[in-house]
Structure 1
Amino acid sequence: MFSWKVVHDGKTPPPGQAVGPLERMSWGRTVGIGAQHVVAMFGATFVFPIVMGLDPNLAILFSGICTILFLLIVKNAVPSYLGTSAAFVAGAGAIRAQGGNSAEVTGAIMVGGLLLLVVGVLVHFMGAEILRKALPPAVTGAVVMLIGFNLAPVVAGIYWPQDQWVALAVAVFMVVGAVLFPGFWGRIAVFLGLLFGFALSFILDKTVGGIERVGADGTAAVTDRVAFTGWSDAAWFGLPSGKLADGVNAIHAPDVSLVFVLLVVPGVIALIAENVGHVRAVADMTGEDLDPYMGRAL
């Protein structure tokens, strides 16, 4: 299961060809692509819990655990990284607007996850054809596209105001790199963009000074873009602790409320379409039949 066939002599595949789920390039290229995917997913995985009023550290922890479980369940046939989904953001916001707390948000999300599990079991035993009829490519493609568009407010409201010029420079670097960089370097333009942004921010801190940030209490302060303070004091291992903004413990038992569950259930439909679209996209790129794994992927 954890063995991958080296293809294309370990080099970057020629145009129009792909690396299959059970194949790999050289370990250097494989690690580079993997690191880029972690970087690409980290923004949403970290920010969405904050938007929903939950603990991002706990989300990142279970993102890793669930990714490992997913790969075991699909027998490594469907490459995927499991992060937090935008599908629950609207439901969590509605729960908060109705006076719900973090325990009720996680309770509703838990029920949504159990519902998705039931759908996955049904698809596994009844076949993927039922999803093909209910969710044609036009539907799954549109849902995946809209989920991407949902990230735009996160960028506009959280990342962009921090430092617009650095953000613009990094975006331009990634686009130009993806188009002009040769071979494998163009394939990891996102990861290189992270390194470029880090270096640029560090240089600007040392030359022109920091930027003004507004804290949660509304007070403004000038801080460096890149700050290493706290690294030496942080524990290498530990569990999330403390309380969330609404006073609920970071680690807490879910509180299930039928009213709040109904607010989250529509997000499950988006999750189904998102996962189906992902599996189909991988199947189209690699030319492999992944329908037998559709239920497991859900």
Structure 2
Amino acid sequence: MVLGWTKQGDGKHLAPGEVVRPDERLTWPRMVGFGAQHVIAMFGATFVFPLVMGLDPNVAIMMSGVATILFLLIVKGKVPSYLGTSASFVGGVIAIRALMGGDTPAADAIVTGAILVAGIVLALAGLAIHFLGVQVIHRIFPPVVTGAVVMLIGFGLAFVVADVYWPQDQWMALVTMAITFVVIVAFKGFIGRIGILVGLVAGFLLSWGVDKVFGNVTAFNAATGKIDTHPRVNLSSVAQADWIGLPSFHGPDIRFGAVLLVLPAVIALIAENIGHVKAVGEMTKTDVDPYVGRAVAADGIGTVVTSAVGGSPTTTYAENIGVMAATRVYSTAAYYIAGVIAILFGLCPKFGALVAATPGGVLGGVTVILYGMIGLLGAKIWVENRVDFADPVNMVPIGAGIILAIGPVEQIITEEFRLQGIAFGTIVVVGGYHLLRWIAGRPAEIRETAG
């Protein structure tokens, strides 16, 4: 069902063990709350990665909403997921800018042109998966590989917490994490299910209050890239931002040399999308295999649409899967609402500036929970499929790939082309597993992932 949801129970309460399925919903005010929580969950990375790539964050936020709605329509509402900015392209984009002279309008167009072509390739790969059948995926991504991809996607983001968010205010990160722990577990109703959002708002308000009472913090400042004394909550950009306005759109410029630098990211995105879809199927206890190809193609189409107007590449988001795991609310209604809110954010620079003012320490306290939950979903897939790690064919490439992702380890292929982190780990997991199976003389494993 693409649109239209049946109300789950009384629409207000979930009994122990109950979930809200993709085609169900709670009351609309509650669904708006869940939609807002999904926007908050994706906002940090979807806002930060365009900045790293030199692209307009407001365009990225707005177009992530458009891409998410397109994704839900293409998968017929069967796979609840949010499409935010992909980090897999960062290395390729930085290489392109190094060759094109940095952050110039011409380089912006070449970057988005390369991303657009990569999106087309990803969409074609999704169509191939859809028409050739899901057994192709089972052969390439058996449970041991699927679990590993899900795990390294979650744990591979640990460096973002450790190197970017936590150092900005370690005590506020710790307090925010503790508040979120308590809210999720102690409150059984609606408040508990939006515990991530509650923890983030509480951390924001506490940071503002601590600034007023105790003064500024001396710590790593993400804005300057060094340690200095600064307020935890800086609202200057909020005061300067307009209430209503369009982001800065621009068209793409396709150059073959630039395309080559970002194409390897497509491999990681295919595995990442499949891992996310499998994780959603695992949580919802539904067979999503018939929609895997659609999901990959939808992500590719989303990337094409966003990059056509100067936006960033998209991918299904681990942060939002983590929110679903915490809330047990898998309704696609929440994602449609999140998409609309994101589009409105793009039209309201002031509100976007307010959310972007969320202190890094607070984001650290929240994302450490979200990323960890995603990583453990990979372990859950292994347990339920009784993966045998006494077998070196399973243990060796999986262990190596996860460590490469967590590092994150960088492999310099040429001065212009590098693999690192999640992308590098994913390639080692998938390629290493199948290479060792071939060396061991074993046929391809086609057992389906449990769930």
TM-score normalised by length of structure 1: 0.85
Query: Equivalent residue for 1:7?
Result: 8
Query: Equivalent residue for 1:27?
Result: 28
Q: Is the 8 A contact 1:124 1:296 kept in 2?
A: yes
Q: Is the 8 A contact 1:283 1:289 kept in 2?
A: yes
> Against the structure 1 CA distance between its residues 92 and 136, is the aligned structure 2 distance closer, same or farther, given a 3 Å change threshold?
farther
Q: Which moved more, 1:183-192 or 1:197-206?
A: 183-192
Q: Alignment partner of 2:263: what SS?
A: helix
* Distance (whole Å) between structure 2 residues aligned to residue 90 and residue 144 of structure 1: 21
* Distance (whole Å) between structure 2 residues aligned to residue 145 and residue 219 of structure 1: 31
Cα offsets for 1:10-38 (capped at 9, x unmatched): 23433333221111122243223222222
Aligned residue runs from structure 1 range 147-296, under 5 A:
147-211=153-217, 223-231=230-238, 233-241=240-248, 251-296=249-294
* Distance (whole Å) between structure 1 residues aligned to residue 181 and residue 94 of structure 2: 33
> Against the structure 1 CA distance between its residues 274 and 219, is the aligned structure 2 distance closer, same or farther, given a 3 Å change threshold?
closer
* Distance (whole Å) between structure 1 residues aligned to residue 224 and residue 173 of structure 2: 25
Q: Alignment partner of 1:13: what SS?
A: coil
Aligned residue runs from structure 1 range 36-75, under 5 A:
36-75=37-76
* Distance (whole Å) between structure 2 residues aligned to residue 137 and residue 257 of structure 1: 38
Q: Which moved more, 1:271-280 or 1:152-161?
A: 152-161
* Distance (whole Å) between structure 2 residues aligned to residue 164 and residue 280 of structure 1: 34
* Distance (whole Å) between structure 1 residues aligned to residue 264 and residue 89 of structure 2: 9
* Distance (whole Å) between structure 1 residues aligned to residue 225 and residue 135 of structure 2: 53
The percent identity for this pair of structures is 56
Counterpart amino acid of residue 196 in structure 1: A
Query: Which consecutive residues of structure 1, in runs of 5 or more, have no partner in the other structure?
Result: 242-250
Q: Is the 8 A contact 1:121 1:295 kept in 2?
A: yes
The root-mean-square deviation of aligned C-alpha atoms, in Å, is: 2.7
Q: CA deviation at 1:98?
A: 4.6
Q: CA deviation at 1:183?
A: 3.7
Query: Equivalent residue for 2:422?
Result: none
* Distance (whole Å) between structure 1 residues aligned to residue 40 and residue 225 of structure 2: 29
Query: Which consecutive residues of structure 2, in runs of 5 or more, have no partner in the other structure?
Result: 102-106, 297-451
> Against the structure 1 CA distance between its residues 85 and 77, is the aligned structure 2 distance closer, same or farther, given a 3 Å change threshold?
same
Q: Alignment partner of 1:86: what SS?
A: coil
* Distance (whole Å) between structure 2 residues aligned to residue 216 and residue 224 of structure 1: 12
* Distance (whole Å) between structure 1 residues aligned to residue 125 and residue 173 of structure 2: 40
Count of residues paired in the alignment: 289
Q: CA deviation at 1:218?
A: 7.3
Q: Is the 8 A contact 2:185 2:192 kept in 1?
A: yes
* Distance (whole Å) between structure 2 residues aligned to residue 230 and residue 44 of structure 1: 19
* Distance (whole Å) between structure 1 residues aligned to residue 237 and residue 50 of structure 2: 22
Counterpart amino acid of residue 191 in structure 2: W
* Distance (whole Å) between structure 1 residues aligned to residue 225 and residue 262 of structure 2: 31
* Distance (whole Å) between structure 2 residues aligned to residue 136 and residue 260 of structure 1: 33
* Distance (whole Å) between structure 2 residues aligned to residue 221 and residue 276 of structure 1: 42
* Distance (whole Å) between structure 2 residues aligned to residue 53 and residue 148 of structure 1: 25
* Distance (whole Å) between structure 2 residues aligned to residue 145 and residue 54 of structure 1: 29
Counterpart amino acid of residue 148 in structure 1: G
* Distance (whole Å) between structure 1 residues aligned to residue 100 and residue 156 of structure 2: 24
Q: CA deviation at 1:111?
A: 1.5
Q: CA deviation at 1:193?
A: 0.8
Counterpart amino acid of residue 279 in structure 1: V
> Against the structure 1 CA distance between its residues 280 and 12, is the aligned structure 2 distance closer, same or farther, given a 3 Å change threshold?
farther
Q: CA deviation at 1:278?
A: 2.1
Q: Alignment partner of 1:196: what SS?
A: helix
Counterpart amino acid of residue 163 in structure 1: D
Q: Which moved more, 1:32-41 or 1:181-190?
A: 181-190
